[in-house]
Amino acid sequence: MDTDSVLNDDSGSLEHQACYIYTPTSEASSLSTPKKRRAASSSRTPRSKRERIDSKNCETVGAPRGHGFPTLLRDLEDEDAVNARYEAFDRFWGDVERRTNDVLAQVNDETLQSVSTFVSKADQVIYSEKLPTGLILTGPNIAAHGVLFQQIETRIQSVDKRGRVAILTSKDSSNLKNVLKKIIRCITELQDGFDDEDDIVEAKAGRNPSRYNYDPEIIHDWCSTHPDAKVVVAVQDTEAFDPAVLVELISILHQYLPKIPFILLLGIATSEDIFYEKLPHSTIRLLRGDRFDVQRFEEAMEQVFEEAVLSSQSLLKLGPRVADIIFERQKDHTRSVSSFVMALKYAYMSHFYANALSVILCSIDDEESMNKILSDTHCEAIRNLPSFKNLVESTIPTFPWRARDLLTSNKTLKSAVFSATKECQRYSTNLAEAITLFRKLQSIVSPQQATEIPTYELYSRILWGEFTTRPAFRDAMLTTKKISSEKFHTLLTTLSELPSELSSTLSESASKVQELQSEKAAKGSSLVSEFALPDSHRTTVKSGRVRLDELKSGMTSQDTEYHKLVTSTVQALETYFKDRFKPYTNLFLHEIFFYDLKSPHSQVFAAKPRPSVERALSRPGDYLGCECCGGDDDGEERGIGGSQPYAAILYQLYLESPALIGVYDLWSAFRVVSLGDKADQEADEDDEEEKELQAQFYRALAELRYLGFVKYSKKKTDHLVKLAWKGL
């Protein structure tokens, strides 16, 4: 209910939505409930919940603002702070969005480049009477296809100026005539405005007699005025395009190939084999060309993630719970970068919308302005944060007077807040740095693992601080010890190039390894550390040990030194990672810098209409909250009760029935349930109650029908067919 009120309050962003104003009849209840909630919102309730309640309270008072952000903190928040939150959202999100868009624009660049080269090289001489065809393997994310083809169009048409592009979608594929009309319109830029009825295009510039508006000769005319231009026909969704029309289209394009330099681009979302299955061989033989791959989702996602979340420019980070939800949904359901960007925007939005303390983020570099904007209420709110509690508890043993100051003096608190913001920023930068370092290490040491698990899946584990105990981390460290000396050297040099506090140590060791290597190479062998010794294949422990000793005795002083070096370097790396991959919850004010509320995302992005309807009908008590409908908490199976809404009763009876339901059976069962004990009496035709019940029965039945659960059967009179099963 609270979320509803928040939404209704947001009148600025939602345009003219129908709303229902609930005016309670009894005054007492309207007064008592908010009070109760206010009392309940002590320091122990989670902040988010409290603030939602706060926003509810403010809705009557809050003057309409341009942005629709509510006044939080039980309406005690300053007007300035509200505006500051809104501005901060605008600023931060605008920045992230811009950077994300830059990354996304580059993602397809390689594909665009090769398509463009293909188009420019397509030539009659090379293709000898075949239609030049580019298969673009776009992947199954439909939402991205439109963008990609738009990019191709602008690339060929505006940037490279190689000709005109006509983009076709399956909607145009009703028949050949419409397809050709669309192509001609796109190529010659004829705007909609001529009469479709007589199929005639008026002669342009008197050059040629007028033609039917589907006549490809029009393109030919256009081509004669644009001698070097290519005509690219791009089919965006080849799978959905009517195959018969596609075959016709290809044959027409092929017919006109001597006159018009056609090039065909086909977007294929599934697989090439499926595409070839649909076309006859004679058509395929008319085509000749190449295939282009679009960057896979994982790679694009990784780049966007690094830019939008990891980058030190993004102050607000995703918390592990939200990250888990978002990335799980990506993996299981959508696999599209744009939906990730939407989820990220929603995270930013709800953080600045509902968290009064997000105001801290606006003035992160300026202590004075922060002190100014943080009011006493803000300080009070900060003292209610769980991370503040942790801070105080950890301060008490060492500096008890400081803990007292934090609790009593707003000034001390503010300075603590300011230093905490610095601390949080440092944590984030270090984290990003360490993650990049680790990824680099992984990509050198075990490239296969690095490609299997993308960064964004490691992210939440790292934030929880448990990543260093994971097998993935331990594996990486162990293999680092075991790799060959050449590889170790390249590892050290690449890692030392990355900015981190280890870089100097690493480059030192790198040069040392180099030295040892050259010394050893003079003797004609390569460096070996003890870790890299082959595992013994002898059967007994003793003989294995003997062999190991032999191998060890073969090692030179350089080897021993190298071994020491490897041990110390790996040790240093491990401590470095363990230091950086600490849980974020240790930080004071981590609630401000990490957005980690699960429920808004799961509710907004994965709505569950069907389970909701089913639950409302099968357990109405959950929603009504009244005593009579079995709202007690202990009963697992509440079953059907006569006091429940009629539709709910009918639905539960419906659940128990077979696929074909007799209406009369249903009615008698319904009557028994609704009337309870009185049902034993003989039905009386004139009984008013009976009549009303019957009306209610029909009404409930109509409701079920409207919801798509039943329909009337044609097989048997007075029977219903069951359409929907519960829980699907």
Within 288-317, the residues that bind another protein by CB under 8 A are 288-291, 293-294, 296-297
> Which of 54, 298 has the CB closer to another protein?
298
Pair of tokens at residue 319: 């918390």
Residue in 27, 189, 197, 332 binding another protein, rule: CB under 8 A:
332
Residue in 30, 80, 121, 393 binding another protein, rule: CB under 8 A:
121
Please list the residues that pair with 292 across neighbouring strands. Answer: 136
Enumerate residues 186-205 that contact another protein by CB under 8 A: 200, 203
Encoded one letter per residue, x for contact with another protein by CB under 8 A and - for no contact, window 642-681 reads: ----------------------------------------
Instruction: For residue 42, give Cα distances in angstroms to 51, 355, 387, 680.
Output: 12, 16, 16, 54
Select from 248-256, 409-417, 538-546, 670-678 the region that touches another protein (CB under 8 A): 248-256
Q: Is 126 a residue that touches another protein (CB under 8 A)?
A: yes
Which contacts (CB < 8 Å, 24+ apart) does range 61-68 have? 62/9, 64/11, 64/12, 65/12, 66/12, 67/12, 68/9, 68/10, 68/11, 68/12, 68/13
Smallest Cα–Cα separation from 303: which of 337, 333, 280, 275? 337
Rounded least distance, CB 310 to another protein, Å: 24
Residue in 44, 161, 207, 537 binding another protein, rule: CB under 8 A:
207
DSSP structure class, residue 70: P
> Which of 287, 629 has the CB closer to another protein?
287
Written as one string, the DSSP assignment of 172-204 is GTT-HHHHHHHHHHHHHTPPTTS-TTTTEEPPS
> Which of 245, 483 has the CB closer to another protein?
245
Q: Is 258 a residue that touches another protein (CB under 8 A)?
A: no
Alpha-carbon distance of 338 to 661, in angstroms, equals: 46
> CB of 118 within 8 A of CB of 134?
yes
Alpha helices in 581-719 (DSSP H): 590-593, 598-605, 609-618, 621-624, 646-656, 663-675, 688-706
Burial class (CB in 10 A: 0-12, 13-18, 19+), 340: buried
Rounded least distance, CB 396 to another protein, Å: 45
Select from 94-102, 136-144, 372-380, 463-471 the region that touches another protein (CB under 8 A): 136-144
Q: Is 728 a residue that touches another protein (CB under 8 A)?
A: yes
Residue in 193, 524, 534, 727 binding another protein, rule: CB under 8 A:
727
Residue in 86, 93, 127, 595 binding another protein, rule: CB under 8 A:
127
Alpha-carbon distance of 312 to 435, in angstroms, equals: 12
Enumerate residues 368-397 that contact another protein by CB under 8 A: none
Beta strands at 594-595 and 287-293: parallel, antiparallel or unpaired? unpaired
Q: Is 454 a residue that touches another protein (CB under 8 A)?
A: no
Q: Is 239 a residue that touches another protein (CB under 8 A)?
A: yes
**Please, what sign has the CA dihedral across residues 66, 72, 77, 80?**
negative
Alpha-carbon distance of 155 to 107, in angstroms, equals: 14
Rounded least distance, CB 112 to another protein, Å: 14
> Which of 294, 458 has the CB closer to another protein?
294
Q: Is 142 a residue that touches another protein (CB under 8 A)?
A: yes
Enumerate residues 698-717 that contact another protein by CB under 8 A: 708, 711
Give the 3-state secondary structure of residue 441: helix
Residue in 13, 32, 33, 210 binding another protein, rule: CB under 8 A:
210
Gap between the terminal Cα atoms of the chain:
27
> Which of 161, 207 has the CB closer to another protein?
207
- Does an H or E element contain 445, and which? helix 410-445
Rounded least distance, CB 251 to another protein, Å: 7
Select from 40-48, 265-273, 427-435, 681-689 the region that touches another protein (CB under 8 A): 265-273
Select from 86-94, 118-126, 466-474, 568-576 the region that touches another protein (CB under 8 A): 118-126
Residue in 91, 285, 474, 699 binding another protein, rule: CB under 8 A:
285
Smallest Cα–Cα separation from 363: which of 85, 70, 96? 85
Alpha-carbon distance of 283 to 265, in angstroms, equals: 15
Residue in 40, 274, 628, 660 binding another protein, rule: CB under 8 A:
274
> Which of 200, 498 has the CB closer to another protein?
200
> Which of 538, 711 has the CB closer to another protein?
711
Q: Is 90 a residue that touches another protein (CB under 8 A)?
A: no
> Which of 608, 699 has the CB closer to another protein?
608
Residue in 79, 102, 109, 272 binding another protein, rule: CB under 8 A:
272
> Which of 255, 415 has the CB closer to another protein?
255
Residue in 59, 95, 97, 215 binding another protein, rule: CB under 8 A:
215
Q: Is 329 a residue that touches another protein (CB under 8 A)?
A: yes
Q: Is 99 a residue that touches another protein (CB under 8 A)?
A: no
Give the 3-state secondary structure of residue 616: helix
Rounded least distance, CB 200 to another protein, Å: 7
Alpha-carbon distance of 22 to 33, in angstroms, equals: 14
> Which of 177, 389 has the CB closer to another protein?
177
Residue in 45, 116, 157, 251 binding another protein, rule: CB under 8 A:
251
Burial class (CB in 10 A: 0-12, 13-18, 19+), 184: buried
Alpha-carbon distance of 577 to 604, in angstroms, equals: 36
Pair of tokens at residue 221: 């005319």
> Which of 41, 238 has the CB closer to another protein?
238
Rounded least distance, CB 718 to another protein, Å: 19
Q: Which amino acid is at 33?
A: T
Alpha-carbon distance of 155 to 491, in angstroms, equals: 39
**Count of positions (residues) in the chain:** 728
Alpha-carbon distance of 471 to 469, in angstroms, equals: 7
> Which of 243, 465 has the CB closer to another protein?
243
Rounded least distance, CB 131 to another protein, Å: 10
Size of the site for another protein (CB under 8 A): 80
Enumerate residues 557-616 that contact another protein by CB under 8 A: 606-611
Sheet holding 719-722, edge to edge: 660-662, 719-722, 710-712
Alpha-carbon distance of 84 to 63, in angstroms, equals: 16
Residue in 84, 136, 167, 180 binding another protein, rule: CB under 8 A:
180
Rounded least distance, CB 318 to another protein, Å: 20
> CB of 235 within 8 A of CB of 265?
yes
Alpha-carbon distance of 264 to 247, in angstroms, equals: 12
> CB of 164 within 8 A of CB of 186?
yes
Pair of tokens at residue 598: 């699960």
Rounded least distance, CB 331 to another protein, Å: 6
